[in-house]
Chains A and B, each alone.
Chain A
Amino acid sequence: MGMNVETVTTAPPKEISPSGMKVIWREIRKDRMAMISLVVLGIVLIAVYSAALFIDKDAVARVDVFSIYMDPSSAYWLGTDYGGRDVFKQLIIGTRNSFSISLGITVLTALIGLSAGLIAGYFGGWTDNIIMRVIDFVITLPQMMFIIVLVTIIPKFTVTTFILIMTLFLWTGKARLIRSKVLSERELDYVHASQTLGTPHWKIILYHILPNVSSLIIVNFTLNLAGNIGLETALTFLGFGLPESTPSLGTLIAYATNPEVLEYRWWIWLPASVMILILMLSINFIGQALKRAGDARQRRG
């Protein structure tokens, strides 16, 4: 049992056990729906984001009285709406906006919910109590009404304020979810061991507990992303989301409230609905694959 000096400089063995990312990738590859979704999503997003760079936003928003309700043609690929605006360009910018908004909301809620959940779960006691009571309070508030009120009150209503308002109400679910996982992780021996080894609390939270909660976070994040797109669309459809100057998928679908558009000018709202369907479904399938990757028993790979 002597010390072997030569072993110091050996390179890591070829068969390193797969890290988390590799396991996820393997699982997505094995699931055909998820793979297709990933590809489709990738294509759509890349197309939309890059095309949006070339489109002049103001030109899209400008009302052109002469081109009202034109049918699809080579000049306007999906025709125009009642303001004479190019529907196709709106679709592209709208998709980009919807996705960005949803991403923004998801990221912000993730950050806030994660921090709250980690701190409440790890420290317990009074900290936990206070945070939980705050969460309880926020949950009991009538969400829709508050959003409507806030939307009406706030003077300068932009995309950012919209994101912030939504975040205000949506972080609680995540916080609770993470807190419950942290509570169970915290009792495991490896956390005790780290404490006896002199590791400070913040290090334990970030480097020990967070990686073990990560599978939960990733899945939740992905599924939330899909959900938030729908949420934003719904609100805009009802009229409490973005104004028409900022096109989104919701605004396009909102045109369908007009029965004439609904029946005769389907090219205004139908592509938008299909786009929503594609986005949400593909994100969902990827999310399912991720969920399976996290649970070793259900893995197909």
Chain B
Amino acid sequence: MTLLKVEDLKVHFPIRGGFFRTVVDHVRAVDGVSFELEEGETYGLVGESGSGKSTTGKAIVKLNKVTSGKILFEGQDIANYSSRQIKPYRRDIQMIFQDPYSSLNPKKRVLDIIAEPLRNFERHSPGEEKKIIQDYLDKVGLSPDSIYKYPHEFSGGQRQRIGIARSLTLKPKLIIADEPVSALDVSVQAQVLNFLQDLQEEFKLTYLFVGHDLGVIRHMCDRMGVMYRGRLVEEGTSKEIYNNPQHIYTKRLIAAIPDLEPSVREEKAIARQKVSEEYEQSYSKYFDEKGRAYDLKPISTTHRVALP
């Protein structure tokens, strides 16, 4: 069942200039993005900085205003909902943030941080609340007596896990993970990613994983979409994107991934050079006069590429 369907989503930020601060132009952060998410799958949104992937994620959670387009959650278009209309949907769509150091209020104890969503939507006695929270902390691998501690007493990975516990309390259906492991060390990354996978199974979650680390995305996601300058340039299963990239931008991205095998260094450098040349030559074929990518056209049942 399609849980989330994004249709031609556009998020434009106005640039104000001139004496009267009139709107002179727009920053087209997200410029016509369409994709679908099935229940229970993990979809990865990949792109470099400035590609609009984080903005897309935030727009779905209503942290950014949608300029045009539709966001259909379980069939309902929530793109233009006001904050009152969106409130019930907050239980179903949650977000995990990138920076573990600023996503938790430094002046609050863990108990209050995780209990916040519970207090917004449900009524529990303090004892019940504590029990629920300790349960969730257990699920993310933190000891139950962390509830009285402050965020600064935890490491980055632990803080990220607290953030995950917080997003789970309302039993959401869709979780948007905005680069949840980018700020963490490799060994801690592994821990958090493992937890995310376990939790997905246990709570029947659907993930929209936004990130730029292709290794992580490949590991976590079934399907992925590659974004460039606010538009999707390619979409397919992880295998298709890695082994058979079609769009020149995707090819360049894949060629740039460093390999853990030192003996292929030379080959890779040459391959990168070749791809970069191909990119220069074929630029006009894949992008129109304004520099926008074309619409996605399916080349197989799962693989879509932005071709003219």
Residues of A whose CB lies within 8 Å of any CB of B are 1-5, 7-8, 10, 12-13, 16-17, 20, 188-190, 192-199, 208, 211-212, 214
Rounded to whole angstroms, the CA-CA distance of A193 and B164 in the bound complex is: 11
Q: Are A196 and B94 in contact (CB under 8 A)?
A: yes
On chain B, the number of residues with a Cβ less than 8 Å from chain A's Cβ atoms is: 41
Q: Are A198 and B138 in contact (CB under 8 A)?
A: no
Instruction: Flag if B98 contacts A189 (CB, 8 Å).
Output: yes
Is A193 touching B97 in the complex (CB atoms < 8 A)? yes
Segment of B69-77, B145-153, B235-243, B286-294 in the binding face: B145-153
Partner of B99, one of A4, A8, A189, A198: A189
A292, B273: Cα distance in complex, Å:
55
Is B144 interfacial (CB-CB < 8 Å)? yes
Q: Are B116 and A197 in contact (CB under 8 A)?
A: yes
In the assembled complex, B107 has its CB within 8 A of some CB on chain A: yes
Report A-chain residues with C-beta under 8 Å of the C-beta of B150.
Answer: 17
The answer to whether B148 and A16 have CB atoms under 8 Å apart is yes
B171 at the binding interface (Cβ < 8 Å):
no
Residue interface bits B114-149, CB-to-A below 8 A is 1, else 0: 001100110000010011001100110100110011
Q: Which residue of B lies closest to A190 (CB)?
A: B105
Whether A17 contacts B120 in the complex (CB less than 8 A), given A8-B131, A189-B102, comes out as no
CA of A85 to CA of B135, assembled, Å = 72
Q: Which of B103, B134, B141 contacts A193 (CB 8 A)?
A: B103
Q: Is B210 an interface residue (CB 8 A)?
A: no
- 29 sample A-B contacts, Cβ–Cβ < 8 Å, listed by A number: A1-B138, A2-B138, A3-B134, A4-B138, A7-B134, A8-B127, A8-B134, A17-B149, A188-B102, A188-B103, A189-B97, A189-B99, A189-B102, A190-B103, A192-B58, A192-B97, A193-B95, A193-B97, A193-B104, A193-B166, A196-B62, A196-B63, A196-B94, A197-B90, A197-B170, A198-B121, A199-B120, A208-B108, A214-B107
Q: Is the CB of A198 within 8 A of B117?
A: yes
CB of B50 within 8 Å of the partner chain = no
For B166, list chain A residues within 8 Å (CB). Answer: 193, 197
| Given contact pairs A1-B139, A17-B149, A197 touches B120 in the complex (Cβ within 8 A) | yes
Interface centre among B91, B107, B149, B166 (most CB of A within 10 A): B107
CB within 8 Å for A197 and B148 given contacts A189-B98, A190-B104: no
Q: Which residues of A contact B108 (CB under 8 A)?
A: 208, 211
B87 at the binding interface (Cβ < 8 Å): yes
Chain A proximity of B114: nearest CB distance (Å): 10
Query: CA separation between A248 and B150, bound complex, in Å?
Result: 46
With a cutoff of 8 Å between Cβ atoms, the chain A residues found around residue B93 in the complex are 196
> In the complex, A198→B122 CA distance in Å?
12
B14 CB → nearest A CB, Å: 12
8 tightest A-B CB contacts, nearest first? A189-B103, A198-B90, A211-B107, A197-B117, A188-B102, A7-B144, A189-B97, A190-B105
Chain A: CB-nearest residue to B101: A189
Q: Which residues of the partner chain B approach A196 to less than 8 Å between Cβ atoms?
A: 61-63, 90, 93-95
B179, chain A: closest CB distance, angstroms: 11
Q: Looking at the complex, which one of A2, A188, A195, A211 makes contact with B63 (CB distance below 8 Å)?
A: A195
Task: Beyond the given A3-B135, A13-B148, A192-B58, please list 16 additional residue pairs across the A-B interface where CB-CB is below 8 A.
Answer: A1-B138, A8-B127, A12-B148, A16-B148, A17-B153, A188-B102, A190-B105, A193-B166, A194-B116, A196-B94, A197-B94, A197-B120, A197-B170, A198-B90, A198-B91, A212-B105
* Chain B hits for A194, CB < 8 A: 105, 116
User: If the complex has contacts A8-B127, A17-B153, are A198 and B87 also in contact, measured as CB distance less than 8 A?
Assistant: yes
**Contacting pair A190 B90 (CB below 8 A):** no
Q: Is the CB of B258 closer than 8 A to any CB of chain A? A: no
